Amino acid sequence: MHATAFLSINIAHSALLLVAVLPDDKGVPLSVYRPLELRFQPHYGALLHHAWLGDGYVAVGFECGAFVVVSTHGGELGQEVFAFRGLTLPVAALAVNGPRSQAAVAAGPHVRYDLVVLQ
């Protein structure tokens, strides 16, 4: 049995479009679920970067310098499970290590690399 794959698309720097694709027993995409649009509070500004972190979590970097991790699990869909707001410049890049639940965020001349985002 193959796991469900998720596609995520940054829509005009204001929302993420999430699409779940369930493969058949040979790994061929069988069904595409109705897309879900995940919007964020306006005070974050533009959504600049995102990356999947572990099973069902997406890390997002914003124009205001905020970095958040949001759950895509049914019961907690859209809930922030981690937030770091220690940067004052727009997030220029982010990198995640899913197995270790760690992230690194860069903004201007600053890099934070010790963020443990899921306990």
pLDDT of residue 1: 44
pLDDT of residue 11: 94
pLDDT of residue 19: 83
pLDDT of residue 55: 78
Question: What is 5-116's CATH topology?
Answer: Lipocalin (2.40.128)
What is the DSSP code string of 19-75?
Answer: EEEEE-TTS-EEEEPPPEEEE--GGG-SEEEEEE-STTEEEEEETTS-EEEEE-SGG
Measure the CA–CA gap between 119 and 107, rounded to whole angstroms: 24
pLDDT tens readout for residues 62-85 = 999 999 999 888 788 888 888 888
Q: Where are the domains of the chain?
A: 5-116
The segments of the chain whose pLDDT lies below 50 read 1-2
| Residue 115: its H or E element | strand 110-116
pLDDT of residue 117: 63
Measure the CA–CA gap between 8 and 12, rounded to whole angstroms: 13
Which residues, 6+ apart, have CB-to-CB distance to 104 below 8 Å? 94, 95, 96, 111, 112, 113, 115
